[in-house]
């Protein structure tokens, strides 16, 4: 007796993004913002940069800074690629690793084993908080060193919030009004 197997076809489409790749010039700083699984492509960026630097025989001083702003809910459960990221920091391939854990502050260490012992109530909860906290340095990298900024994550909410946070920084540190700050951001996007 033969059983019937239903075969369903699922359409899959490849979509290329010609702009989402690390810059060819290793001297260009990278600012990578990837909460949750958005960190995954940046692991590739960092590995690629490390291999390029090694193959070219360059020192860390010859390569632009690499910053990663990573956020997730809980340090103990959701800190994807933690070991790899800490190793990249240790070797100097990643200049700065700025992490935020949005739910760890919600409970005291007595209430949850997921609470990190070094997580203070005023620690950054979201990547936007780390952007604000390090805004002056991030703007310096962008303006003075031509850093490329990459955002990978929830396009509906997080990317919009990151955009708004950079507008806030421009208003605060450069004295721009809302419209000029938005135009400045649009110019950066158009210039890639």
Closest CA to 119 of 179, 181, 155, 76: 76
The 10s digit of each residue's pLDDT in 157-167 is: 888 889 999 99
β-partners of residue 30 are 66, 148
- What's the pLDDT at 111? 37
Backbone angles phi, psi at 70, to 5 degrees: -120, 140
Give the CA distances from residue 35 to residues 77, 81, 162, 173, in Å, rounded to whole numbers and listed in that order. 14, 12, 11, 25
Predicted model pTM: 0.81
The 10s digit of each residue's pLDDT in 35-88 is: 888 899 999 999 999 999 999 999 999 999 999 999 887 777 778 888 999 999
């Amino acid at each position: 007796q033969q059983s019937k197997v239903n075969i369903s076809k699922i359409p899959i489409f490849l979509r290329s993004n010609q702009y989402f790749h690390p810059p060819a010039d290793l001297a260009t700083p990278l600012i990578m913002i990837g909460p949750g699984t958005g960190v995954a492509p940046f692991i590739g960026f960092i590995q690629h940069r490390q291999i390029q630097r090694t193959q070219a025989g360059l020192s860390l001083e010859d390569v632009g800074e690499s910053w990663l702003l990573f956020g997730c809910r809980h340090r103990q459960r959701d800190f994807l690629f933690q070991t790899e990221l800490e190793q990249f920091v240790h070797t100097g391939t990643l200049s700065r690793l700025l992490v935020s854990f949005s739910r760890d502050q919600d409970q005291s260490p007595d209430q949850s084993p997921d609470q990190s012992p070094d997580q203070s109530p005023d620690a950054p909860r979201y990547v936007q908080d780390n952007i604000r906290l390090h805004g002056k340095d991030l703007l310096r990298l962008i303006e003075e060193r031509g850093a490329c900024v990459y955002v990978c994550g929830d396009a509906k909410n997080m990317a919009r919030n990151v955009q708004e946070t950079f507008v806030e920084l421009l208003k605060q540190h450069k004295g721009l009004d809302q419209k000029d700050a938005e135009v400045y951001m649009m110019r950066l996007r158009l210039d890639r």
